[in-house]
Homo-oligomer: A and B are copies of this chain.
Amino acid sequence: MATIAPSRRVRRTPFSAGVEAAGVKGYTVYNRMLLPTVFESITADYRHLKDHVQVWDVAVERQVEVRGPDAARLMQMLTPRDLRGMLPGQCYYVPMVDETGGMLNDPVAVKLAEDRYWISIADSDLLLWVKAVALGFRLDVLVDEPDVSPLAVQGPKADDLMARVFGEEIRHVRFFRFGWFDFQGRSLAIARSGYSKQGGFEIYVDGTDIGMPLWDALFAAGEDLGVRAGCPNLIERIEGGLLSYGNDMTRDNTPHEAGLGKFCNTHTAVGCIGRDALLRVAKEGPVQQIRPIAIGGDIPPCDRVWPLMAGGKRVGQVTSAARSPDFGVNVAIGMVRMTHWDAGTVLEVETPDGMRPATVQDKFWI
């Protein structure tokens, strides 16, 4: 693969100096910002993530801040998940949809106060959608991108490392909750969350100026824990069934197709822009859906849609795939039509290197 060209448009992050010093070997671009993809090797990074603790520059999870008297109303317009029970201090995974029920993003919403939210976004300029919705519906709300950059601490030793920097209290933060913790005199929201299944936290670093001081503090405190710079790991996230917006689902898909029906309360989410469209889907069910897929043989990196075939007919597609050392198989995420989505169904997948056997699994590798 070719190298990535330097330009201001592909934004650096508050942690880029640390990432470079740690010897980053690969990047992707996510929300027009650099996201590391590999340090030692994807396999070595994977092993280390499952055994130790890593610090991840996930500043690409940009925040859309929604603030003002109509903040709660606007948030409910964006998602079919019922937000009425959401309390300050909670994080919700919220599929966001357009008026046809097509997914625009799958962010985590962070409720800071009754009238203030951060939407921690996946890879699309959701800010433009939210701003225009606020404008078009004349809502009394401010929408902007603040200087807030998430830094994740992930892996089985994440609690130990975080306790050394933020105090023992951090251990009591529950899953998808956040608390306020002090660093160099600044109060930071820290949530128990992250894009891995190995446990850990996301620190919402409020201000570019404290990015590198916090990075350095975590590495200084974690030396004997074997802390390393890491990043979302392709193999581990596929094993864990963590979807990637733009890879595994796009604007073409409903949340139900993405297997996110459990995050949709279509009947009670009154005000959601896509509600009418999704009421029908919720009733009939989707005709295709995300499934874990095991692929045999050798496979190249998955950089495009790989058609899933049955008897010469296309019945779906694979969009993420990688060799799993722990499970001894190629783990993959695909979208499969209902005629062929039952666990155990044997299909063929068309990779650029040729056809490979593919089997629908009943669950992800967790």
Binds B, one of A124-132, A210-218, A222-230: A124-132
The distance in angstroms between the C-alpha atoms of A170 and B265, with both chains bound, is: 56
- Stoichiometry (number of copies): 2
Q: Does A244 contact B (CB under 8 A)?
A: yes
Q: Does A50 contact B (CB under 8 A)?
A: no
A125-B128, A132-B136 known; A4+B7 contact, CB < 8 A: no
Tell me the minimal C-beta distance from A353 to chain B in angstroms: 13
Q: Does A351 contact B (CB under 8 A)?
A: no
**A/B interface sample: 22 pairs, CB < 8 A:** A1-B3, A1-B4, A2-B26, A3-B3, A3-B4, A4-B26, A4-B28, A4-B29, A5-B38, A7-B247, A7-B320, A8-B304, A9-B30, A9-B246, A29-B32, A32-B123, A32-B246, A128-B128, A129-B131, A132-B133, A135-B273, A136-B136
**Which of A2, A246, A319 has most chain B Cβ within 10 Å?**
A2
* Cβ–Cβ < 8 Å partners of A304 in chain B: 8, 12
Tell me the minimal C-beta distance from A236 to chain B in angstroms: 15
- Residue pair B9, A26 in contact (C-beta under 8 Å): no
Q: Does A346 contact B (CB under 8 A)?
A: no
Q: A7-B246, A7-B320 are in contact. List 12 more A-B contacts (CB 8 A).
A: A1-B4, A2-B4, A4-B28, A7-B244, A8-B305, A8-B319, A9-B28, A9-B245, A32-B123, A124-B128, A135-B136, A135-B273
